[in-house]
Structure 1
Amino acid sequence: MNPTPSRERVCLLTGGGYPYRRDALSGWCRTLVEGLRRFRFELLTVTDREPPSAPAYPLPFNVRSARAVAIDRSSARPERRRGDSDDRVRSAAALLSRGLLGDRDTESRTRGAREPGEPGDRGDHPGRREARSPSNGLGPGDGWGSEGRGGREGEEAAEGWGVHEGGAREALDGRSREARDGRSRGAGDGRSREAGNGRSREAGNGRSREAGNGRSPGAEDGRFPEAGDGREGGVVPADLVFSEGLRQIAELAAERPAILASLPLADALAEAWRSEGRLSMRDARTAATLLRHALGALTVPMPEADLVHCVGGTTPLLTALAGRWRTGTPLLLTEARTPVARHKPHEERLSPAVRTVLRRFRGAVARTGYAEAGLIAPLSAYHHSWALRHGAQATKLVQVPAGVDPSEYPGAAELDTEPAVVWAGSGGPDSGLTPLLAAFEQVVAAVPSTVLHLVGVTAAHEDHCAEQIERMRLGRAVRLHPLPADPRDRYTAGHVVAHVPGPADPPYRLIEAMMSGRAVVGVDVGPAAETLGDAGVLVQPGDPAELAIAVTDLLRSPSRRRQLGDAARRRALTHFTNDRVVRVYGALYSDLAAPPPAAAFELALAVPAPRSEPPVTLRWLVREDR
């Protein structure tokens, strides 16, 4: 007889994806929900755009609810004048702003050098851009420098901060002692427990550590001068400073969501970053507006659940962190996209200073998530190593590669048509479309009859695609297709699949192409190399000519195409099937969502128990000669 199925409730938290949008990540989430039918799911997607009106996928019976929430934009309006907010609000803003300074060490480890124009760029490397030079396109006050339009305002902002310095110092001192002593901080409903208790688990056998210990990620990563004075002396881990500030903001937002509008982030940023070369008030206000909007995710209410599985980037992770601090619910974090991209395409128009603030904010949120998560499930060795470099504990990491259903992508024979190349993506500015078209222009010159099929282009990006195609004068050689409802139709039209991902795209499309049995030419970005292996052709990023040569060679060699296509499908069947994903996540869910074991007690007597003779009824069994 089968045991009673598990009915633990899991909140699957995404950033504008499943079940409201059809894309590769949503398809992965659908596989997870439909495969784990013994769990009850509460689906929540948090987005900064207009929420969809209806799900794009039919919901299985084990989904209790599905909700899409848009971040309230009113929280991003200009803050009130200094003095209108209380000490708690100003203290939280100061801690958050000062904690961002600790990302300097992480950036130096991962990027080797700062972006020209960033704080700390003192001109000791070639090709630098002067923050105040008229030739770099930045006027006074637009970049990093001690002068400019924000000069006098920055001096005024520096006044009046002594009111809350003592409170900030006390909070940090207490948190630092907790980190050193290993004590846990209780969450809202008392579900948080100290390390080593029933909820604590050894990650080596798939178990998580304590739920809600109040420690911040990467305590060893950078050291930060004590918040009270900003001078050399006592130090507090910078990520601990940021985590405490974020936690305080989450607590304030839970009490009164409108408090975000009065968060004095502009003043706090200008004051905290003065040692970096001073963030001008103009840039500080711009960064503060964007940060307040992002922090609106802290106000999104979470459904009641036994486990929160956060899949996505900064926005859903902020919601998950706020919910965890309120209730102590265990958190499972999946790194679905390349974390903390250098900067997003729509941020190009921002000054280098503002982009630096945003990038450091995303990195600090990710490290806070690493600290609070019970388990972290990166999709690849690439994501695994990235998490380690940014403070994740190795014992928390359980690598779970992506997978697809082989029955949805059967290996089909090539069509007897003109040479065709398939690319799958949204078609947006950050989707990899631009380098693809640059390479395809050279492919058409070598093989004039070749057609490029752009599969999965969303309605929101059709105009952008058409504009790019017109600019490259490719005309009818490029055809746009929405994402087919039947996965079998995604790659069958092509003879070669060009995998040119965006900077943050997960490897799902690559695995789909491999499972379809098509020859793949991939750009070596993110986990592409470890996913494709020797079952395809890899080219270096930023070289359209090399990509064009590889595609052209395969179009002219049918036998090599078939050989690589068969090898790609075999590799996908061996390493990237959905049953493996469902099986591993089912074990992770059961481990994190299961109730803690009953407390065990060991009885120790201070006085040894007296010895006595065996009972009379047993003495006759004992031989007298013994």
Structure 2
Amino acid sequence: MRIGLLTDGGYPYATGESRLWCDRLVRGLPQHEFDLFALSRSAHQEDQGWVRLPHHVSRVRTAPLWTPEDGTLRGSGERGLLARLVTGGGVSFGRRDRRRFAHHLTALATAICATEDAGPDPATGEGPGAELFTEGLYGLAELARERGGLHLALRSETTVRILEAASRARGTGRTVQSATVVDHLAFAAELERVLRPLSLDWYDQESLGAVDLCHAASGGAAALPGLLAKRFFGVPLLVTEHGVQLRTHYLSAPDAPFGAPVRALLANFHAQLAAEVYRQAAIVTAGNTHVRRWQQRCGADPAEQRTVYPGMAAERFSPVGEDDDAGGPDTLVWVGRIEPAKDLIALLHAFAEVRRAEPDARLRIFGAPAESDEATTYLAHCRALAAQLFPDEATGAHAEGVSPVSFEEIGGPEVPDLAEAYAAGGVIVLSSVVEGFPISLVESMFCGRATVSTDVGAVVEVIGGTGLVVPPRNPRALADACIALLRDPERRARLGAAARARALELFTVEQNLAAFRGIYLELISHAPVRREADAVDADGEPLLFATPAEARLLGHWTQPQPPATGARSPSWAAGAEPEEEGAECAGELEQVAAGQPGRSPQREPASGPGPGPALSPAPAPEPVAARRSGPVREPVCVCGPGDGDA
């Protein structure tokens, strides 16, 4: 099948989020054809280039959404270019289009400005303004598709006036009502940026309309093209999240250069968008149970959720995991990115307690090079605290003092790679106060090391019963757990062996690929898409065997059949008169026709040695409302693995 992989700030670029996971997914499923639709976030990311793509990636479409538009509000002189709502394609809106734009943007703005205190509707589970949000979003998308874009329209004075009127309406929160003109201008610019995917030229039969399945590698902006592909072409949508985009937005909001009203409006928009993505997605996969709970709080249906752990390459850690060397028996190791969320301050205070109980203990901190000023400042603070808590110690009057705490970078002469870092210690420590999926813990489990971790994120779910877990921000509890493992080498060995077995069972690349292979087949079997273009060659002639014979059979064969209500007794046993053959066949036709709503059974000529009895066509059943909106398709039979191509 053809998969449309949707990414935001990652694959196929050499840097970015979920790059390694997407690359492993594409390379691990060579039986499928992939079309990549990628959104880039910065000029630096594009300058880094792409990774080498496998042969079954048929095409790549990119959109540099970070670039400023050429028409940055210039030309708003005497003719009032902004009031005329000139689009990014240079096409002026007519009177009818201006009314459409104002109507749909008003609906969207009303939904965004609605107070968050109302809560979801208990009957539908939808939050306040959900219907208005979808009306506005898809209305703007259809207008952008017809008119060539909404870039300048969303920056116009009309947009600011609509936002201002919506924020003053009844039912909005106090924070939104306090927004000034400056706030509305800032929010209009952000709204134009996050809605840029609506103005892309991806929504035609040659692009997203040609794929069998859209797979968004994250929520948010990456899922927007998938929403429109489902809306315009009925393409099923699969959403994968290793971290919930809405939660990420909440955590980063305090650092945004906006006032409280703009932050509130952006939070409302992202919450409404996340809820709509979860409503329209056929399946939503979470990287762990922690993410799954967040998805449910944001509106995901538990019946449509799957937990698929991110696969990691275990081969690079096999030499350490299979080695009998248990590492330094008195050495604690911390591996990760040095930043305030990792709470190395608490780890250093905990190690001070460890040194009082075990004077020979050492702490080795392995971190990647600092990439920001905040990380550099935090690293300097940690070094200063370590020097204060652990003065250099010397074994004699003429020996050089050595600190029991060392800060090292991975890739140096002593520690050339990650595996060597984990091999250096007998106990791996995680002291974070905020964590998603703890990758460093999984890597240490592949190496067969016992762990001491704080109870944050998906830590408990990952380690199970193969390590010790303590509350975050509790140096004393962290120290006690480390001392317990340092004093018991047999327990360390048992926990390390159990951790390696658990990691090999749950967190390998093979497990991840097998899960998505099954999900792809499940989705395409329940939502088959027949394309006339795939049934003809370049000259327009029909292709042989392009349509399976099962597709000609009546009924919707991809839907599960209800169980039989009871056994049917033969007519001779019940003493009833045998039914006429024609009536029995007609009943069967009625049963089959019921599987395809709104379609009458077609009469086919009977095959056999003699003419069969005349059959009366069964009446067309009443149309049945589908669970999800979308075009009604003809019945298609999709064979299972080994029986045919899906």
TM-score relative to the length of structure 1: 0.66
Q: 2:451 aligns to what SS in structure 1? A: strand
Closer, same or farther in 2 for the Cα pair 1:262/1:416, shift >3 Å? same
1:407 aligns with 2:305: no
Closer, same or farther in 2 for the Cα pair 1:77/1:22, shift >3 Å? closer
Report the alpha carbon displacement of residue 593 of structure 1 after superposing the two structures with TM.
4.0
Report the alpha carbon displacement of residue 587 of structure 1 after superposing the two structures with TM.
1.7
Report what 1:358 is aligned to. Answer: 266
Moved more, 354-363 or 249-258: 249-258
Report what 1:30 is aligned to. Answer: 23
Between the aligned partners of 1:578 and 1:48, the Cα distance in structure 2 is 27
Report what 2:584 is aligned to. Answer: none
1:587 aligns with 2:496: no
Report what 1:307 is aligned to. Answer: 213
Between the aligned partners of 1:545 and 1:353, the Cα distance in structure 2 is 41
Closer, same or farther in 2 for the Cα pair 1:470/1:556, shift >3 Å? farther
- Number of aligned residue pairs: 478
Closer, same or farther in 2 for the Cα pair 1:58/1:416, shift >3 Å? farther
Between the aligned partners of 2:66 and 2:510, the Cα distance in structure 1 is 38
Q: 1:520 aligns to what SS in structure 2? A: strand
Offset from partner CA, 1:55-102 (integer Å, 9 cap, x none): 575433333345654314436967988854422222232222222255
1:471 aligns with 2:395: no
Between the aligned partners of 1:616 and 1:492, the Cα distance in structure 2 is 80
Corresponding letter in the other structure for 2:280: E
Report what 1:398 is aligned to. Answer: 306
Report what 1:241 is aligned to. Answer: 132
TM-score relative to the length of structure 2: 0.64
Report what 2:614 is aligned to. Answer: none
Alignment of 1:74-93 (within 5 A): 74=68, 83-85=83-85, 86-93=98-105
Offset from partner CA, 1:191-225 (integer Å, 9 cap, x none): xxxxxxxxxxxxxxxxxxxxxxxxxx99823564x
Report the alpha carbon displacement of residue 543 of structure 1 after superposing the two structures with TM.
4.2
Between the aligned partners of 2:278 and 2:73, the Cα distance in structure 1 is 31
Report the alpha carbon displacement of residue 370 of structure 1 after superposing the two structures with TM.
1.0
Offset from partner CA, 1:243-277 (integer Å, 9 cap, x none): 22122232333322433333855433333233322
Aligned equivalent of 1:98, options 84, 88, 110: 110
Report the alpha carbon displacement of residue 391 of structure 1 after superposing the two structures with TM.
2.5
Q: 2:423 aligns to what SS in structure 1? A: coil
The question of whether the paired residues in 2 share the 8 Å contact of 1:453 and 1:478 is answered with yes
Q: 1:453 aligns to what SS in structure 2? A: strand
Q: 1:598 aligns to what SS in structure 2? A: helix
Closer, same or farther in 2 for the Cα pair 1:344/1:408, shift >3 Å? same
Report what 1:383 is aligned to. Answer: 291
Larger radius of gyration: 2
Structure 2 alignment gaps of length 5 or more: 86-97, 388-404, 530-549, 556-587, 594-599, 604-608, 612-646
Structure 1 alignment gaps of length 5 or more: 1-7, 110-216, 225-237, 610-614, 618-626
Alignment of 1:96-175 (within 5 A): 96-101=108-113, 104=116
Relative contact order, higher structure (CA 8 A, sep 6+)? 1
Alignment of 1:609-620 (within 5 A): none
Aligned equivalent of 1:372, options 273, 277, 280: 280
Report what 2:65 is aligned to. Answer: 71
Q: 1:273 aligns to what SS in structure 2? A: helix
RMSD value, Cα = 4.0
1:340 aligns with 2:239: no
Report the alpha carbon displacement of residue 373 of structure 1 after superposing the two structures with TM.
1.2
Report the alpha carbon displacement of residue 503 of structure 1 after superposing the two structures with TM.
4.7
Offset from partner CA, 1:328-377 (integer Å, 9 cap, x none): 32211112203412231663553333222222222211111112212112
Corresponding letter in the other structure for 1:464: E
Report what 2:227 is aligned to. Answer: 321
Closer, same or farther in 2 for the Cα pair 1:245/1:503, shift >3 Å? farther
Report what 1:253 is aligned to. Answer: 144
Report the alpha carbon displacement of residue 418 of structure 1 after superposing the two structures with TM.
7.0
Report the alpha carbon displacement of residue 309 of structure 1 after superposing the two structures with TM.
0.8
The question of whether the paired residues in 1 share the 8 Å contact of 2:470 and 2:478 is answered with yes
Report what 2:344 is aligned to. Answer: 436
Between the aligned partners of 1:239 and 1:13, the Cα distance in structure 2 is 24
1:511 aligns with 2:421: no
Closer, same or farther in 2 for the Cα pair 1:509/1:218, shift >3 Å? farther
Between the aligned partners of 1:598 and 1:240, the Cα distance in structure 2 is 36
Report the alpha carbon displacement of residue 39 of structure 1 after superposing the two structures with TM.
1.0
Report what 1:521 is aligned to. Answer: 452
Report the alpha carbon displacement of residue 393 of structure 1 after superposing the two structures with TM.
2.6
